[in-house]
Amino acid sequence: LAWFKKNLQHFPQLSITYVDGRIHTLDMAASQLRNLPRNTVMLLGIWRIDNRGITYMNNSVYAFSEANPLLPMFSMTSTAIGYWAIGGYVPQYEGV
């Protein structure tokens, strides 16, 4: 996230909305996604634990995709690639 925020300084024309599990519950995040402007794209990192300490596995992706099914989404963790994400990155973890 720090790298992302640092590099966004090169693109001042972009408006960024963060949906962060440290701040939001899953319901709050889904509501925020429902109300995004039409010219929005999503870059998904990972959403596993919300601000109440509730753990989510794949159900967070389903909640997000149902909240805004037309929202173009790119995955940074391979999450949702193949059914919601229109592209992304599949990291390779050595020794795992």
**Sheet strands (E) in the chain:** 42-44, 73-75, 87-88
Residue range 57-95, pLDDT digits in tens: 667 888 889 999 999 999 888 878 888 888 888 888 777
Beta bridge partners of 55: 49
Planar angle of CA 29, 86, 31, nearest 5 degrees: 15
- Say how far apart CA 27 and CA 79 lie, in whole Å: 19
Residue range 7-64, pLDDT digits in tens: 999 999 998 888 888 888 889 999 999 999 989 999 888 777 778 887 776 678 888 8
Question: What pTM was computed for the model?
Answer: 0.74
What's the confidence (pLDDT) of residue 96?
A: 60
- Say how far apart CA 96 and CA 82 lie, in whole Å: 23
